[in-house]
Amino acid sequence: MKLLTFLLIILLCFSSCSSKTGKQEIGGVEYSFTPVDSSENFLIETNTFSGVVFSEHESPNQDVFTFSMLLRPKEQDKVIPFTPSLEDVVMAERILKRCAEVDEIGADSLAIGEVNDLSTYRRQYFGGINEKGQKLIWINCFSKESGFDHSDWKTEIIQVMDGGKDFFNVVTNISTEECYRFFRNSIGG
């Protein structure tokens, strides 16, 4: 009886611990997601990209919502943080890919230019909801081949001075399916 109770407890612990890790197929693509140790963030990986979704409860080393990065130019909305779901990230990635293919960022008409193949970049996703109730996701991208050591990329926002085409970010509005505020860290490199 004690052995049975012990085995049930172990099984319960194992199933509850692994319930946050999983795989899901969306549109024929398999996504795996894993919690990031000692945080509420989670890592998403596919054959084409990997990125970390930052929880609305986590505190990166800077508050991305005070940068006005999630707002259209001249927009004064207040942005409330939210934790993007896997479906939100998939939609944001579709928007990013479309914008990269047409080489401009939405109504801002800023050229993406010399950004490498999107599959060569890791991503960080930060979610916000504007006053119109629209879901916005700020995608911070940095090259896997940049040569910079980013061992804390799963828990801290990555920022560099300069960096050229190896570092860029953009906002996707998944409610309107637009992207805007493309920003490359500099024109160098």
Task: List b or e across 37-56, with b for residues whose CB sees 16 or more CB atoms inside 10 angstroms.
Answer: eebebbbbeeeebbbbbbbe
CA distance 106 to 92: 13
Predicted confidence (pLDDT) at residue 51 exceeds the cutoff of 70:
yes
pLDDT digits (tens, 9 = 90+) for 13-25: 434 344 467 888 8
Q: Which value, to the nearest 10 degrees, does the dihedral of the CA atoms of residues 167, 42, 57, 131 take?
A: 60
Predicted confidence (pLDDT) at residue 49 exceeds the cutoff of 90:
no
CA distance 8 to 56: 34
Q: pTM for the complete prediction?
A: 0.76
pLDDT digits (tens, 9 = 90+) for 103-138: 656 544 455 655 658 888 899 999 988 889 999 999
pLDDT value of position 79: 80
Q: In 10 A of CB 104, how many CB atoms?
A: 16
Q: Compare 38 and 148 and report the one with higher pLDDT.
A: 38
Q: Compare 179 and 107 and report the one with higher pLDDT.
A: 179
Q: In 10 A of CB 77, how many CB atoms?
A: 16
